[in-house]
Structure 1
Amino acid sequence: MPYFTLKDGVTLFYKDWGNATGQPVFFSHGWPLNSDNFELQMNFLGNHGYRVIAHDRRGHGRSDQPWNGNDVDTWASDISELFEHLKLTDATLVGHSTGGGDLTRFAAKSKAHSGYGSHGSKSSWVKKLVLISAIVPQLLQADWNPSGVPLETMNQQRALMLKDRSQFFYDVPEGPFFGFNRPNATVSKGLIQSWYNEGMQASFKSAFDTIASWETDFRHDLQSLDIPVLVIHGDADQIVPFGVGNQTTKFLKDGRLKVYKGGPHALPNIEVDGINNDLLSFLKET
């Protein structure tokens, strides 16, 4: 698999699968995971002729583990450099959870840039955006965002990481992330172990610092977008409350909401066929 070194010396791991000349789809993963968490969507779209790309965010997975730069603006800049390196154009972005935040910031900033079309012609970097269980418009609770997560809860998560990250990183997938704590839930030990393995690959510093990104207000970023945006959220999400995602479209010029009844936070893992087909249908729209 390829690696790319950023201007600040940090090396990112990324996957570039599928049809090398196909329409590009770029994925950004949630916390504290890596690009492996989108493998079923990448395999599905790759088999449908798309070029599918995903990176391990700095500090996560197989990428370098720098002390600094674990913030939304740096992540968006990292994606910009990777887009330049791969000469991507007219890409559809797909972000889950925290990945929906960095892709929203990247899409907003990319309006000032251009990519490389065929024969060297200039073209836009971003064509469409998909936000799945994303932390936009803001995960942190506020007067305008009463459904958000209180700061006290985020501080509790920081404390649990400092006390025993290993145990915390079992408690999250065993409970709210996949919705396995709900009555009559079908529990997958494999998904729990996979989440734990990916989470423990991330550096402690990067995983800890990422919690601060959940306080980011993305309303201005969303309002600046003039591309089609598909917002997908489960109404039983215990990580990013449905009341947060449900209001995203009101900040968009061209947004629509797809609700998964009873859907947990981990829709790409739990609702694989539904998410795959949602993505394919959105990609096929002109």
Structure 2
Amino acid sequence: MPTITTKDGTEIFYKDWGPRDGGVIVFHHGWPLSADDWDAQMLFFLEQGFRVVAHDRRGHGRSSQTATGNEMDTYAADVAELAAALDLREAIHVGHSTGGGEVARYVARAEPGRVSRAVLIGAVPPVMVRSEANPGGLPIAVFDGFRAALAANRAQFYRDVPAGPFYGFNRAGAQVSQGIVDNWWRQGMMGGAKAQYDCIAAFSETDFTDDLKAIGVPVLVLHGTDDQIVPIADSALLSHPLLKAGTLKTYDGFPHGMCTTHPDVINRDLLAFVRDSR
């Protein structure tokens, strides 16, 4: 398997498909998944002639099951090492959910010339947890519940999330795909319990406000109005005004996992944004 080894000895698995002389799109997955969550996007953009790259975040998928470094600064540093190792230049970075936070932190700190654009999809910025500074956020008890469920029975928890709110399969009239549920479970169970436990704090408690303000490249923000995992009112609607060159597009009734449930719609809008950069 293709991997890089980071400065602290962590092996990061990655996929790197397509022509080296084409535009580069880098995909960043959400918790607790892997690069496989981007299959529908990577195959689509490969057919469009792009070079597509996706990695398994440390502690997730086929990367090392790390006990340390499971926080946003290290996640972003891992991306920087991957970008250097693969010599990624003028890349477009696309992040979903936790991956959107990773993109925000990496892009805000990236070396000049590494990034041309970014996309945040159902992304966790600016900050998820409720506080005096963020009164509309979710109570810490929600994330404590995630941790308790993971520790008590990770295998069952990783059935319940995709079968319910992640893809909106708990909504009346939803067309449930058992294959999608099983694939979510498969990806989640590939990773390390300790790293995924720690990542709950990383995606819920990290404040990305300064990162968003620092990003100078164009950023497309995509979010479903029925996102039950990362509610739009406390994420995209707050992130967009903080960006210097942000564009917000919302999708009525779409769930958190809309890249999987509605790939044709999302891929079309991503393509339009990507082509505009050429």
Structure 2 length normalisation: TM-score?
0.97
Q: Does 1:255 align with 2:246?
A: yes
Q: What code does the residue aligned with 1:259 have?
A: T
Q: Which region of structure 1 is more displaced relative to structure 2, 158-167 or 27-36?
A: 158-167
Q: Does 1:8 align with 2:8?
A: yes
Distance of 2:224 and 2:104 partners within structure 1: 19
Distance of 1:84 and 1:250 partners within structure 2: 31
**Which residue number in structure 2 is paired with residue 232 of structure 1?**
222
Shift of 1:5: 1.1
**Which residue number in structure 2 is paired with residue 187 of structure 1?**
176
Distance of 2:134 and 2:8 partners within structure 1: 36
Contact 1:233 1:246 survives alignment (8 Å): no
Give SS of 2:212's match: helix
**1:85-126 superposed Cα distances (whole Å, 9 cap, x missing partner):** 01110000000000000111000111xx24xxxxxxxxx111
RMSD, aligned α-carbons: 1.0
Q: Does 1:284 align with 2:262?
A: no
Shift of 1:164: 1.0
Q: Does 1:217 align with 2:207?
A: yes
Unpaired segments ≥5 residues, structure 1? 115-123
Shift of 1:42: 0.6
**1:50-88 superposed Cα distances (whole Å, 9 cap, x missing partner):** 110000001111111121010000000000001010111
- Map 1:112-131 to 2 at 5 A: 113-114=111-112, 124-131=113-120
- Map 1:1-286 to 2 at 5 A: 1-110=1-110, 113-114=111-112, 124-213=113-202, 214-244=204-234, 245-286=236-277
Contact 1:91 1:125 survives alignment (8 Å): yes
**1:7-43 superposed Cα distances (whole Å, 9 cap, x missing partner):** 1111111000122211110010000000000011011
Q: What code does the residue aligned with 1:104 have?
A: A
Give SS of 2:27's match: strand
Give SS of 2:15's match: strand
Give SS of 1:22's match: coil
Distance of 1:187 and 1:80 partners within structure 2: 38
Q: Which region of structure 1 is more displaced relative to structure 2, 168-177 or 135-144?
A: 135-144
Shift of 1:144: 4.2
Q: What code does the residue aligned with 2:97 have?
A: S
Q: Which region of structure 1 is more displaced relative to structure 2, 147-156 or 194-203?
A: 147-156
**1:229-275 superposed Cα distances (whole Å, 9 cap, x missing partner):** 00000000000001022221111111011101001000110110011
Shift of 1:146: 3.4
Unpaired segments ≥5 residues, structure 2? none
Distance of 2:226 and 2:136 partners within structure 1: 13
Give SS of 1:238's match: coil
